[in-house]
Structure 1
Amino acid sequence: MGTLDSDPTVADPARAYISAVGAHDIDKIETLFAEDATASFAGQVLSRADWINGLRRLFPALLRNDILEVFTAATRACIVYDFVTDTPAGAVRCVELVTVNDGRITQVELIFDRVAFAPVNEALEQRAKSVD
């Protein structure tokens, strides 16, 4: 787990968020996010509630997040991690740019390989069908 030139006032909440997602800890995630926080990925911008609900939908396939690197610049942290799943995708490398103001996350931007992540979505869809 690397940390290079990292400001703890920015890195710590960002790291806690990625760890909380990996632990499926919605309560912790909610405490870390500002009420007006937004999240973006794949050209979409989501509200705090929509982002957290999206994370919740991924939990059935997510085993953990393995944080590899954390870098900070001003109020932003860049976290590189493996999103480790129980699907054929295995671990999917992700990068999140996390903005922290006054100890709360105000914005996240998720960057990942959508092709590498596709088996995760397929597995979740199959699992949802088998429950119906």
Structure 2
Amino acid sequence: MAIYHLKNWRDKGGSELDKAKTIIADKNTSLKNLSLLTKIPYQSLVNYRAELSKLDRASWKRINLLAQSFDIAEIQDNMTQNDVKELQSKLHSMFNDWRQLYRNDNSSLRIINSIETIITSDPVACFEIFRNID
């Protein structure tokens, strides 16, 4: 049986471990605030910053929380609330146009609705689309 590896667009920004290391290493990141956000004990974050290789042995849950914090920080640094509103409006308009094109094809309509739900509910996906708008 052949095993196929699909390229994940999310890996373009680095793996979750890469993102966790980046946010911990960033001296502009307040470890106290990060601790409040992630519920990871402050002292653990201090230890990770002192020796980033400790993150290689951290639990997946902690790595995931730190990677999500990285994504949140990147989005907040690059998108305003107005940008978010405009993007959501553009996306909904685009999906409505597609629904009109395929209004007689129930299978396509289900796919369009699923794609819309996935994309518009995922802040990282929305940010990736935002970065590619001219």
* Structure richer in helix, relative to its length: 2
When normalised by structure 2's length, the TM-score is 0.26
Pair member with larger Rg: 2
- Higher relative contact order, structure no. (Cα contacts within 8 Å, ≥ 6 residues apart): 1
* Structure richer in strand, relative to its length: 1
